[in-house]
A and B are shown apart, each in its own frame.
Chain A
């Protein structure tokens, strides 16, 4: 049901002339993708500094909350740019991306990373008074930071693998994989 709905949405986006224009442009698509990748240095770069501080691996003499607060704004600027360019990349190739197993895993990991960040922030605000000056924060904070790094690493690799066609709908795949990738027509064609 959801697969059909998503495909319908993707086909509608695909029918718009702007989507085709970006897709078929000589340089625009490449520049959007370049911006998307380069902004990794802003968003993920800032996140690296914050999470490494929470792991006790950088800025041991600066309070953890200071690092988190000072880098929050540049990190969010990076995130917004990634979100906008990411949406444009999806908009330029909506059908194939919707039916990409990697893209689907990426979205799930994004949501998981978002939830983790939200919980981490709450945990930090509730308890940072007691460990803010410690060079190495307590274990539960370190676990949250490690989880954050692992989830974002997952987002990066699944983002990169969208470009590979290993599990595209036109390949011979088991029913489960067709379902997971949302290959609606291929599922119906199976005996």
Chain B
């Protein structure tokens, strides 16, 4: 499946008109993207470090996971919306950028991991899940999301 038509369309869309013409608007949207990353990373880390028994050991991990997941969703929405706007400014360049596709691949892996694996699994009583499984979940989650963020930053360097 070639997504070129989508990037071609995005490159000349109304979004692109705005993101290409106004550097200030772009910078502000980028700020929301960065704040969204911080929020998403914070929620992932607090939940995963709890599963690893590193922080907030005196608070039930079910409570930590439940509370952080809500704001994870908010952060992801902020990141995706601001991300689409930012990519409209350089849509065709991104289409030919390997790092961009690395990021999209890891992002897709992250979304599938969160909503199809981590979330359904952690709905059970955590005491009934093997400690090793919980630890594996946490480490995988941290690795995936740091990869998404790092490959995102490297789009700018490549």
Q: Give A contacts to B, CB under 8 Å.
A: 30, 33-34, 37-38, 40-49, 52, 57-59, 61-62, 66-67, 70-71, 73-74, 153, 156-157, 160-161, 164, 166
Contact = CB atoms under 8 A, between A and B. Distances in A.
B28 interface: yes
B38 A48 contact: yes
Contact of A45 (B27, B38, B67, B157): B38
Contacts, number: 107
A74 B150 contact: no
18 contacts: A38-B150, A38-B153, A40-B37, A41-B45, A44-B39, A45-B41, A46-B46, A48-B43, A49-B42, A58-B70, A61-B63, A62-B67, A67-B56, A70-B58, A157-B28, A160-B30, A160-B34, A164-B27
A43 B39 CA distance: 10
Interface of B: 23, 27-28, 30-31, 34-35, 37-46, 49, 54-56, 58-59, 63, 67-68, 70-71, 145-146, 149-150, 153-154, 157
Contacts of B31: 153, 156-157, 160
B82 to A, nearest CB: 12
Given A47-B42, A62-B67, 12 more contacts: A33-B153, A38-B150, A41-B41, A41-B44, A41-B146, A42-B45, A45-B38, A48-B42, A48-B43, A58-B67, A71-B55, A166-B23
Identify whether the interface residues of B are mostly helix, strand, loop, or mixed.
helix
B30 A44 contact: no
A70 B59 contact: yes
Contacts of A49: 42-43, 46, 68, 71
A160 B40 CA distance: 18
A34 B154 CA distance: 8
